């Protein structure tokens, strides 16, 4: 006999549940509906007591049967609900697949665009890095007089790098030219005389234009002319 409180199966002869201690219905109670008001026996189908007319409570076995039918009904409803969902599932999947297929070209296009932009950014960074190495930034003086003197002195020299096409030092943009102009700039900011700076620059880098060699008493090995080069 199953306890209607905790659901534990008990022996038919048990009066109380072995698990929760609730009083179990007797065999008579299972076959008859006992009126709680007067104790009279009634048929299970009676709604009111035949002795006192009080409304009867559904006996345990009737409750159990009712619960059983309710459960079966719910299970049947769920079965039909699941069946309907199962039949409608391919249609939903089909629509979802069609929607996904429709979005694929857009996703691919966006992906290609992102990759292209990233590639361009990397390429620009690499090119800028290369340009920075070829043409480093020149730290010019804030004093315009100093900068004018730097260009004046540099105009008397040719860049000594040997790879920039022998440009005049005041206009060449290669790293060696910037280094040489900075050399001149540092001496000017120390208040050295321009003629001393020219000699010092010629001694260190050479390539003083030949027409200025006699004026500043620079050795011919440190000069440059269009017909003959004199390396350092």
Residue ranges of the domains in the chain? 1-57, 78-134, 144-224
Answer for the pair 54, 35: CB distance below 8 angstroms, yes or no.
Answer: yes
pLDDT reported for residue 180: 94
Identify the three-state secondary structure at position 93.
helix
- Mean pLDDT computed over 92-101: 56
Rounded to whole angstroms, the Cα distance separating 40 from 206 reads 134
pLDDT digit string, tens, across residues 7-66: 888 887 788 888 898 887 765 455 667 788 887 888 878 888 888 988 887 765 555 455
Rounded to whole angstroms, the Cα distance separating 78 from 88 reads 15
Of the candidates 191, 165, 188, the residue with the CA atom closest to the CA atom of residue 176: 165
The gap from C-alpha 204 to its chain's centroid, in whole angstroms, comes to 55
The gap from C-alpha 100 to its chain's centroid, in whole angstroms, comes to 23
Comparing 16-25, 35-44, 75-84, 178-187, the range with the smallest average pLDDT is: 75-84
Q: Could you tell me if residue 166 is left (phi over 0), alpha (psi between -120 and 50 degrees) or otherwise beta?
A: left
Specify the higher pLDDT residue, 141 or 137.
Answer: 141
Strand ranges inside 33-115, DSSP E:
33-34, 41-42
pLDDT reported for residue 125: 74
Comparing 42-56, 65-79, 113-127, 153-167, the range with the smallest average pLDDT is: 65-79
pLDDT tier at 132 (50, 70, 90 boundaries)?
very low
pLDDT reported for residue 161: 86
Does position 205 have pLDDT exceeding 90, yes or no?
A: yes
CB atoms within 10 A of CB 186: 13
pLDDT reported for residue 95: 54
Enter the pTM of the model.
0.41
Average pLDDT over the chain reads: 78
Of the candidates 168, 143, 157, 165, the residue with the CA atom closest to the CA atom of residue 207: 157
- Domain 144-224 falls in which CATH fold? Helicase, Ruva Protein; domain 3 (1.10.8)
* Exposed/middle/buried for residue 20 (C-beta within 10 Å: 0-12, 13-18, 19+): exposed
């Amino acid at each position: 006999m199953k306890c209607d409180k905790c659901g534990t199966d008990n022996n038919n002869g048990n009066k109380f549940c072995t698990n929760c201690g609730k009083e179990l219905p007797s065999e008579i109670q299972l076959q008859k509906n006992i009126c709680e008001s007067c104790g009279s026996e009634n048929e299970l189908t009676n709604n009111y007591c035949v002795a006192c007319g009080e409304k009867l409570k559904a006996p345990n076995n009737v409750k159990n049967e009712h619960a059983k039918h309710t459960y079966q009904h719910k299970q049947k409803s769920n079965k039909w609900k699941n069946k309907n969902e199962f039949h409608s599932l391919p249609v939903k999947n089909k629509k979802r697949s069609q929607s996904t297929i429709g979005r694929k070209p857009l996703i691919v296009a966006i992906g290609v665009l992102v990759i292209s932009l990233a590639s361009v950014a990397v390429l620009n960074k690499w090119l800028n890095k290369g340009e920075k190495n070829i043409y480093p930034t020149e730290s010019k003086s804030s004093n315009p007089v100093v900068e004018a003197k730097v260009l004046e002195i540099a105009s008397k020299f040719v860049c000594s790098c040997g790879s920039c096409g022998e440009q005049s030092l005041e206009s060449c943009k290669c790293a060696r030219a910037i280094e040489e102009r900075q050399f001149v700039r540092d001496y000017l900011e120390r208040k050295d005389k321009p003629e001393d700076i020219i000699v010092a620059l010629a001694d260190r880098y050479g390539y003083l234009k030949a027409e200025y060699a006699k004026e500043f008493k620079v050795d011919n090995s440190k000069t440059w002319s269009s017909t003959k080069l004199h390396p350092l």
